[in-house]
Amino acid sequence: MTNFVRRSVLSCALAAALPAAFSLNAQAADKADAAWPSRPIRLVVSYPAGGVSDVVARALGEKLTASLGQPVVIENKAGAGGAIGLDQVVKSNPDGYTLGFSSISPLTLSPHLGKPLFDAQKDITPVVSVMYSPVLLLGTTRLTAKSFPEMLAQAKANPGDVRWATAGLASLGHIMLEQIADQSKTQITHVPYKGGGQQLNDGLSAQFEVLSTNAGPAVMQHIKAGKFKALAVGAPSRLDSLPQVPTLAELGYKNANTTSVFGIFAPAGVPAPVLARLNAEVNKVLALPEMRQRLEATDNVPTGGKAADFAKQIEAESKANAHIIKAAKIQLN
């Protein structure tokens, strides 16, 4: 057999074998997707242990463990406003066995503030929205105003005298402040902290007039004790725990970015059947009365829904944040 003939025969054999090989690989991948999960799942929580988001993630993990038949192991990776945890997810294998639980802030704020750890549009996949945490605008005992309109009137009459504390530069509270200040044409002094803990403590000792913070049991106790007065709530509707407090939308600030949205995320490239199964299972868990009660007990509101809708929400908020960050010239040190 000549070399030419031999090469022709080998080429034909290879050409015939390739489709079969691809078919076998595709079948193996389909079987792996159908078998998911066949081992424990790691859920990276982007916040410290013991906080409200961690408590919710653990409750969710407990229910998913039962429904999926595999342990969901919680791993806390806090830092950079949630970006450190999501970066761990981005760098993991896209096989559905490493997921993230985080607010959407690393995807809607970080990309507009210098060099982010990852590409929010290409490197990570939103799987399902889990809940939103309303943001409260509170007055300390130093604030003489009794309501949101009175607070703004006081700030207009004395430009710069009303100090508004947030959890940090470019935090959700800071974005809210800039949106309200811009729409109302009011000069308000921003007091950025490095986290919410010290901000809350200094608020209790009335070292400033106003603060914005997520709703939660500890904050509600301080409001009931008279240490803070609730001026407004950032949520689509009033809270059952604070029915007398108006929403920012009611006060005329419909475009204010006022809720902290949390969800499940996966690295880019996870097979679609795995993502669909995960979305369905989380929605089932969020529909359970006991799960809804656990969330509502911490003044968080369960959401759920389609992955595509979650992605659209993130995109819309990112565009809104980009506008206010540019207009207010917000920069990280």
**Which residues, including other chains, have CB under 8 Å from residue 55's CB and lie 6 or more apart?**
298
pLDDT, residue 255, reads 80
Do residues 246 and 70 lie in contact, with contact meaning Cβ atoms separated by under 8 Å? no
* Full-model pTM: 0.85
- Residue-wise pLDDT for 230-272, tens only, equals 999 998 899 989 999 999 999 999 888 678 999 999 999 999 9
Q: Please tell me the class of the 39-133+259-328 domain.
A: alpha beta
Whether residue 91 has pLDDT greater than 60: yes
pLDDT, residue 285, reads 98
- Residue-wise pLDDT for 72-82, tens only, equals 999 999 988 89
Do residues 76 and 48 lie in contact, with contact meaning Cβ atoms separated by under 8 Å? yes
Do residues 228 and 138 lie in contact, with contact meaning Cβ atoms separated by under 8 Å? yes
Distance CA 196, CA 178 (A): 18
Would you state the CATH architecture of domain 134-234?
3-Layer(aba) Sandwich (3.40)
**Domain residues of the chain, as ranges?**
39-133+259-328, 134-234
